[in-house]
Amino acid sequence: MLKNIFFELTSKYTHEQQLIQILWEEIEKKYSHSSRHYHTLTHLESLILQLEEVKEQISDWDTVLFAVFYHDIVYKATKSNNEEKSAELAAKRFSEINFHQKKITVCTSMILATKNHLQTGDADTDLFTDADLSVFGQSWHQYETYLKQIRKEYSIYPDIIYKPGRKKVLTHFLEMSRIYKSKYFYEKLEIKAKENLLRELKLLT
């Protein structure tokens, strides 16, 4: 599914099928790396499924889709600049396919917005970052699976380092007036998300 979506999307901006294949193979390789357990191709599929539920509310579907494919293309548990590096690589790849410069700027801004998931005032960006956090509002069983996957990605760190860092992340979201910026995701997931985050926080103490 992902490959077909990417090829159809990218073919709107370049007719170089070999280039599209190379770009897809890069995405597939990055998201399938052995160090990844949550930030995988499955995560991208989940985002697209979530966003398809609100597609009629999105003004620039292509730009949002590109943001999905590239928002975690650079992901190293030991680094704190993954979003910046992902946006940088995305801009380079978008230029190769002649994506519109204004849209490149918008798309890289979307990617950078996943660093803190704060309100941006841009409807497309808020829907995109909300979808990125949709796992927070799933059933506890699904959330618990996510927790285990994240812990594996950060397995380089012992609990004495991981737990305080994770608590900081959870506190960041719990102290927000609302986790989800859009009406759709707020009404659908907000209550359950806060329940899950609080439950995890208790497990870390």
Is the pTM above the cut of 0.75? yes
**70-79: pLDDT as tens digits:** 999 999 999 9
Lookup: tokens for 23 = 């770009």
As a whole number of angstroms, the distance between CA 95 and CA 23 comes to 12
pLDDT of 200 higher than 90: yes
As a whole number of angstroms, the distance between CA 82 and CA 188 comes to 29
Q: Give the single-character DSSP code of 116.
A: T
**101-112: pLDDT as tens digits:** 999 999 999 999
* pLDDT on residue 145: 97
Nearest CA to 103 among 65, 131, 132, 133? 65
pLDDT band per the 50, 70, 90 thresholds, residue 91: very high
Q: How does the average pLDDT of the chain come out, rounded?
A: 96
* pLDDT on residue 187: 98
Classify 117 in phi/psi space as left (phi over 0), alpha (psi -120 to 50) or beta. left
pLDDT of 205 higher than 90: no
As a whole number of angstroms, the distance between CA 6 and CA 68 comes to 10
**129-174: pLDDT as tens digits:** 999 999 999 999 999 999 999 999 999 999 999 999 999 999 999 9
